[in-house]
Amino acid sequence: MTKTPRFPLSQTASRRIVVAAFGAAVACAAAPIAGASAEETIIAISFPNASTIGAVVTEIEGAKKKGAEMGYKVVVDDPSTDLNKQINTIKTWTEQKVGAIVCDALQPAAFESVAKQARAAGVKWITYGEKLENQDATVGYAQYADGHTLGEYAGSWIAGKPGFKAKVVILGYQKGVWGQLRGKGIKEGLLAKAPNVDIVAEQDAISPTEGLNVTRSILQAHPDANVILGVEDPATEGAYKAWIASGKDKADPNAFIGGMDGTAPALKLLKEGGTVYRASMAIPLVAVGEAMITTADALIKGRKPGDDIVPLELVTEKSPKAEEYLMQQGEK
């Protein structure tokens, strides 16, 4: 998912807030689990930009609701992009001996030692969307397989057009393992169905601005490019704007744009249909939020559930799934 920065709090202020949050959490835990201490009924989620990215907000709300149903208080910290703040908050949670920590680790290697310390203190550790050496489980996605599904769909669309010469652009993210896996999946899925396509450009872009600027440059160099696939919908939303801004037909029957994550703008285009934006691999947001809690619950109770991998779902033009996922995000 695209990361949107916000103003970071000072570490001192952050610590006061976290401590206050714990006090409130303990006070408000309405249905303590039999035999569990107050701290064990707390599941703490550290998620950069959790309060600013609509899709993540939906996930977290799903986690809170599921937690309340199961007798847990879910505490959430949004460190924005401040790595030190994120680590300091997690250390505070470890000192408090919460039941479990769910961490979206943007730089996985930086969290190995804090995860080790947490587990040594008896806190269960769940990594979101990544894997650490020191963890109890991952809640996340099959990045390669989900990318492969998008690539296959685009390849089948190309193969269904006899004589069509596909000039493909792939918007990836080589700086992150997840981006590498998604990009590789997209490329190999595409070639599995349409082995003769010409991939004219592969560049990093994950935000709307990056997608707009990168695609604009690519279309200047390759004006006949007609298929654009991205590892993030925000980037392909930018690509769609670049496509229109370059004077191309937004409903060109011989063009294809598709991305991943199922953001609201992408889903709105798919719900309406009739544009070159033809597919997205959508995250079942509520299911992911619930998986954070059910996995933590199993670990706290001494079971070893293993990783919980939630598959993304292919959403295409005018699919009822577009509206379903929009409603999950509070959109229409």
The average pLDDT across 249-258 equals 98
The average pLDDT across 253-279 equals 96
Residue 250 has pLDDT above 50, yes or no: yes
The average pLDDT across 4-13 equals 30
DSSP bridge partners of 316: 279
pLDDT in tens, 50-77: 887 777 888 999 999 999 999 999 999 9
Q: What percent of the chain has pLDDT over 70?
A: 88
Higher pLDDT, 19 or 81: 81
Other CB atoms within a 10 A radius of the CB of residue 269 amount to 23
Residue 321 has pLDDT above 50, yes or no: yes
Alpha-carbon span 296 to 44, nearest angstrom = 10
pLDDT band at 169 (very low <50, low <70, confident <90, very high): very high
List Cα–Cα distances, 282 to 30, 43, 62, 241, in angstroms.
34, 26, 16, 20
Alpha-carbon span 34 to 158, nearest angstrom = 57
Residue 12 has pLDDT above 80, yes or no: no
Which 3 state secondary structure label does DSSP give 256? strand
- Give Cβ neighbours of residue 305 (< 8 Å, ≥ 6 apart): 137, 294, 295, 298, 299
Give me the pLDDT at residue 151, please.
98
Q: Average per-residue pLDDT in the chain?
A: 88
Residue 298 has pLDDT above 90, yes or no: yes
pLDDT band at 330 (very low <50, low <70, confident <90, very high): confident
Single-letter code of the amino acid located at 120: A
Give me the pLDDT at residue 159, please.
97
H helices present in 105-196, as ranges: 112-120, 143-159, 177-193
Alpha-carbon span 330 to 268, nearest angstrom = 12
CB 257 within 8 A of CB 278: yes
CB 13 within 8 A of CB 60: no
Tokens 């990056």 belong to residue: 210
Alpha-carbon span 322 to 328, nearest angstrom = 10
Alpha-carbon span 201 to 184, nearest angstrom = 14
The average pLDDT across 126-153 equals 95
pLDDT in tens, 204-229: 998 899 999 999 999 999 999 999 99
Give me the pLDDT at residue 305, please.
84
Give me the pLDDT at residue 115, please.
98
pLDDT in tens, 25-37: 333 333 455 555 6
Give me the pLDDT at residue 120, please.
97
Tokens 């997209």 belong to residue: 186
